[in-house]
Amino acid sequence: MSEFELLKTIKEPSDIKQMPFERLQELCQEIRAAIINRVSKGGGHLGPNLGIVETAVALHYVFDSPKDKIIWDVSHQCYPHKMLTGRAQGFYDDTFFKNISGFTAPEESKHDIFTIGHTSTSVSLAYGLAKARDYQNEKENIIAVIGDGSLSGGEAFEGLDNAGDLKTNFIVVINDNEMSIAENHGGLYGNLQELRKSKGQYADNYFKTLGFDYTYVEDGNDLKTMIETFKKIKDINHPIVVHVHTLKGKGYRPAEQEKEKFHWCQPFDVKSGKILGTTTTEDYGYYIAQYLENRVKTDPKLVVINAATPTALQLKEFRADHPERYIDVGIAEEHAIATASGLAKGGMRPVALFFGGFIQRAYDQLSQDLSMNKSPAVIIIEGTGISGGDITHLGIFDIALMSNIPGLVCLAPSTKDEALRMLDWALEQRDFPVVIRTPWKAPESLKYAPTSPIKLNKSEITHKGEKIAILGLGSFLSLAEKTAELLKTKGIDATIVDPRFTSTVDIELLHGLTKDHNKFIVLEDGCVAGGYGSKVASLLSPYGVKVYSFGASREFTNRVPLKDLYERYNLTPEQIVQKVL
Amino acid sequence: MSEFELLKTIKEPSDIKQMPFERLQELCQEIRAAIINRVSKGGGHLGPNLGIVETAVALHYVFDSPKDKIIWDVSHQCYPHKMLTGRAQGFYDDTFFKNISGFTAPEESKHDIFTIGHTSTSVSLAYGLAKARDYQNEKENIIAVIGDGSLSGGEAFEGLDNAGDLKTNFIVVINDNEMSIAENHGGLYGNLQELRKSKGQYADNYFKTLGFDYTYVEDGNDLKTMIETFKKIKDINHPIVVHVHTLKGKGYRPAEQEKEKFHWCQPFDVKSGKILGTTTTEDYGYYIAQYLENRVKTDPKLVVINAATPTALQLKEFRADHPERYIDVGIAEEHAIATASGLAKGGMRPVALFFGGFIQRAYDQLSQDLSMNKSPAVIIIEGTGISGGDITHLGIFDIALMSNIPGLVCLAPSTKDEALRMLDWALEQRDFPVVIRTPWKAPESLKYAPTSPIKLNKSEITHKGEKIAILGLGSFLSLAEKTAELLKTKGIDATIVDPRFTSTVDIELLHGLTKDHNKFIVLEDGCVAGGYGSKVASLLSPYGVKVYSFGASREFTNRVPLKDLYERYNLTPEQIVQKVL
């Protein structure tokens, strides 16, 4: 591993400050090799990190972290920063991958100020730090590094709008790689393009309109220029935007050429650039994309909306085949929901798709713009459920977030067929907005699959027994079956219920069951707090039956293996039965 | 009432299309008089409506609503629009005030496309309508009217950013009255100022950077200019911003002079401009403002943050006395929360105050930027609880919104003293963010007031009885007492509990009570779905006791009298006792 010779010597950013320029250049190459080493073997964000190597090296060469504070937006481009702050082994040494996360993490290093995983937050967070600095008469530099894709998020605008008004040091580095996660969308990207074309001289300058000083760097992958640029603005006494033009995927040809594919990717063969393993799983995302592909051919009203994540949502084929029915609003979830409401009011049938927790940005829009207005849009949330994922990317809060909003009808399918029936049902009515949440994993086969037509707020009993009723929400209907099987060995023939709706309890059905059931088990693949089980408990408690709610605890977990989480939350059939009997 | 002669003749916007210009000018005066008539007697939004009279008349004179669609941002400036669309009686005739709301309402008129009450949504909603129009090959004009105060909200930026990219008709009217709700803040307002000073010629133009064509109107209260301007751009084939400079409060001298006071106001004496009734109530907002005033004198770390609502939050005195410790971020709730997180991480003690449902904009920031980062900021939500207010301004969803976020410690005080103890406690610790929700109304006096020190996640038994325990969250502790009194007449000495924390159930205390209590009543001044009662039910149900949750239903209500709502939700002591016994 002599190839990572320099990297191995770096424990702190101060270790690079005396390096001659040639060494720094070699260091950039080692960092690139380490990024490719880790991502090709374990997956991760490739393109964003390859593009920002020189920016990161120059930042740490010129500024003095952690006194000077660098905030990495989204933080999926923090790999070079991590390597420069004592965590290089997590990239060059395969056995250390798991010790270092792919996002900034204060518990890993004092150089990471915040845990960040959602986009467009860096400027506002940095603004708070800058105000704190000024109040305490300190003098350090505050630097927000934000990728241009993140500029389309409203929070980034709010941050820039306020920060442009500061009278003290504030540095925003715009990493402009001509891309969002997908291609750039929206008017602002036209402005960035004009600024690039004119080498920063274009008359109407977005950043200047918000009060910022401005400087443009044509080749952000030229280390010398980057160092000189940062040296010039270090300790500047007012807000400045450094607009840095970089090449996403720089230094790895396949990633330079296929920017979207290599934004985040599974392990790949370095030589050929071929993604290893199967790229298409027959999961819910796949089935939903197929459904939309089919439906658009006969439904002239269907429009698909998404917020910059076509790859994760498997919408690239739809985008290619039906570009006129596909709206990518960029990273702008608030706008996406309001747009869906407008389209629905205007007579179209919008389907807006989001990935997991990213919908959190749009609670107010889901409530006011959409549900209060009874706009019949369909919202699909993919990648939900308990997972071993990163703390910032958990998919367990959407039930509490959405199912308590008046007028928003929320469903969780338990099988592929049910998911497709739900889509049909949601798209045929014009009375209310509908949310369908689908889990990460592919549907499992069920012994007792639900078969009845979807009816508003009606659950289905898939197996009728007695004494104990098990409600298995969405993908947890299979866990309900497994629990019922275990109960059978103990002489209890439990009833199994597919609740279908997460937003409303089918009280008629459940009340009927209270006649010959005195225990109700609710299993939900999400957080118990504010979730479906708590609704069931509220409604059934006055009847004198016992309700046992199982699901995730109200906590943020960070890359805890799924199996451990299931055990922690008593989500194995054995634990469930033990708790209840 | 001959003064409203013209207004009485208008049933549809078409009724003004043949009016000679002089009549239109008289109409503007009648509209002004009607606005003043209604607001001086019943309260409401005065300044915004007085300023936009000519814009509204010109819009309806030139465009053809409802074929052409006008979307009013925030919609608190829709009074002139309402008068021009058949609802003038709701303004000139005192007995009709209650029939017409102060916001756009599709159930009132086909000229109101959306129910709108939160800011910054109009452009995105209009964008959806524009896309729907284009898909269906229609040709109508789509017009978003947005006050400049709303431009600071991220959703407005996201909308403009996407709309600037349209290749078809799209008109944004910027009502620039040099004000937000409070004074304008943020870098963008500097740009608007430059544009005003240069009569629209300033080199860096925010709207142009986002792809818009642009035109400036120096005197937006000149009807002739407004009509000419709109005639020129009617049926335009691309997105344009019409930047209209108006005078907030135009035509009523006191409102022109004291813009903030008359933005929204209680009934007032027209002659003197004096607000009628007491302006200061000794409610929670008052006590909190006093607390902050006192604390800032000895706490060098305290910073107060608010998002453009200093009047509603009674912070104007604080702002005047301690401008250096007061940050108004403008209408930008996402940024406000991230800023609070940054300030807390940077060593300060930020207190961010919000009004009721406006905090909804910041769910993701509360979760990711704040709670996940364990930033010890204090968030105060005022004006919560069940109310007879407008559908867009309900304060009943905050418990479900916030109390289910991991790591966010949420409290509801039941007395003034407890509120102040909570503030002390929240500001003394550095481990987690704290939310304190306070109700509209002033604290009531209690027979059994809580007295013990605040301890994390600990409730207090204020009266120990047996059989039935009543948990009265926040302001509903007084309802708990009243219910206990009624139970006493039936021979039951009920236990009364002040839960204090809405985010975590004190299971130790409640479990203890299960020994001699088999019924638990939970009263919460908010929506039951996702709320505190559902947490109690979930946790206690397995113990075989009955939990009865009382609070608001999962529904949007619109100006339903509070007394009716209490009865609808079984929130009178008589109803509660009847349900439980």
Q: Out of A165, A204, A529, whose CB is closest to B208?
A: A204
Q: How far does CA A551 lie from the centroid of its chain?
A: 21
Give me the pLDDT at residue A92, please: 97
Residues of B within 8 A of A72 (CB-CB) are none
Mean pLDDT of A168-187: 82
Instruction: Give the model's pLDDT for residue B260.
Output: 87
Task: Answer whether A530's CB lies under 8 Å from A404's CB.
Answer: yes
Would you state the pLDDT for residue A278?
Answer: 67
Rounded CA-CA distance B216/A264 in Å is 44
B124, B243, B399, B409: best to mutate for the A interface, most A CBs within 10 A: B124
pLDDT > 90 fraction of chain B, expressed in percent and rounded: 94
Give residue B1's pLDDT: 44
Chain B contacts of A342, Cβ < 8 Å? 124-132
Compute the average pLDDT of residues A179-197: 80
Share in percent of chain B as helix, strand, coil (round to 5) = 45, 20, 40
pLDDT tens digits, one per residue of A23-43 = 999 999 999 999 999 999 999
Q: What is the pLDDT of residue A179?
A: 75
- Sheet of B302-306: strands edge to edge? B326-328, B302-306, B349-355, B378-384, B434-439, B409-411
> Average pLDDT over chain B, rounded to whole?
96
Six-digit token string for B196: 């005003």
Distance (Å, rounded) from C-alpha B383 to C-alpha B393?
10
Average pLDDT over residues A500-525: 98
B137 vs A: CB within 8 A: no
* ipTM here: 0.97
Contact A444, A419 (CB under 8 A): no
- Whether the CB of B163 is below 8 Å from some CB of chain A: the reply is yes
Write down the pLDDT at residue A305: 98
Does position B405 have pLDDT exceeding 70, yes or no? yes
The stretch A374-382 carries a mean pLDDT of 98
B381: phi then psi, degrees, rounded to nearest 5: -110, 110
List, for residues B497-531, the tens digit of each pLDDT value.
999 999 999 999 999 999 999 999 999 999 999 99
Under the banding of pLDDT at 50, 70 and 90, the label for residue A281 is confident
| B532 has a pLDDT exceeding 90 | yes
Nearest CA in chain A to B301: A135
Q: What is the pLDDT of residue B277?
A: 77
| Statement: residue A1 has pLDDT above 60 | no
How far is the C-alpha of A90 from the C-alpha of A85, rounded, in Å?
11
Flag whether residue A50 sits within 8 Å of chain B, measured between CB atoms: no
Residue linked to tokens 């040809």:
A253
Phi then psi dihedrals of residue B403, to 5 deg: -70, -10
For tokens 């989480």, the residue is A565
Residue A225 sits at the chain B interface (C-beta within 8 Å): no
Stretch A200-215: mean pLDDT: 97
**Looking at CA atoms only, how far is residue B404 from chain A in angstroms?**
6
Give residue-wise pLDDT tens across range B421-453: 999 999 999 999 999 999 988 888 999 999 999
pLDDT at B132 over 90: yes
Q: Is B210 on the interface with A (CB under 8 A)?
A: yes
pLDDT, residue A249, reads 94
Residue among A159, A538, A556 minimizing CB distance to B534 = A538
Q: Do A373 and B115 touch (CB under 8 A)?
A: yes
> Could you report the per-residue pLDDT of B19-78, keeping only the tens digit for each?
999 999 999 999 999 999 999 999 999 999 999 999 999 999 999 999 999 999 999 999
What does the angle CA A389 – CA A527 – CA A116 come to, to the nearest 5 degrees?
A: 40
Q: How confident is the model at residue B185 (pLDDT cuts 50, 70, 90)?
A: low
B167 → chain A, closest CA residue: A187
Provide CB contacts within 8 A for B134, sequence distance 6+. Answer: B168
- What does the CA dihedral A522, A527, A532, A536 come to, rounded to 10 degrees? 50
Q: Check A538 against B540: CB less than 8 A apart.
A: no
DSSP state of B403: T
> Which residue intervals of A120-265 are DSSP H helices?
122-135, 154-163, 187-197, 206-209, 223-233, 253-257
Residues A123-176 pLDDT 10s = 999 999 999 999 999 999 999 999 888 999 999 999 999 999 999 999 999 999
Q: Please report which residue ranges of A83-169 form alpha helices under DSSP H.
A: 89-92, 122-135, 154-163
Is B363 in Cβ contact with A401 (below 8 Å)?
yes
Is the sign of the CA dihedral B356, B360, B365, B367 positive or negative?
Answer: positive
Q: What is the model's pTM? A: 0.97
Return d(Cα B385, Cα B396) in angstroms, integer: 5
Judge whether residue B186 has pLDDT over 90.
Answer: no
**Residue carrying structure tokens 């809405």:** B502
The pLDDT of residue B278 is 67
Q: Give the pLDDT score at A182.
A: 56
Rounded alpha-carbon distances, angstroms, from residue B59 to A94, A541, B99 = 66, 56, 24
Q: Considering only alpha carbons, which residue of chain B is nearest residue A558?
A: B372
Which pLDDT value is given to residue A82? 98
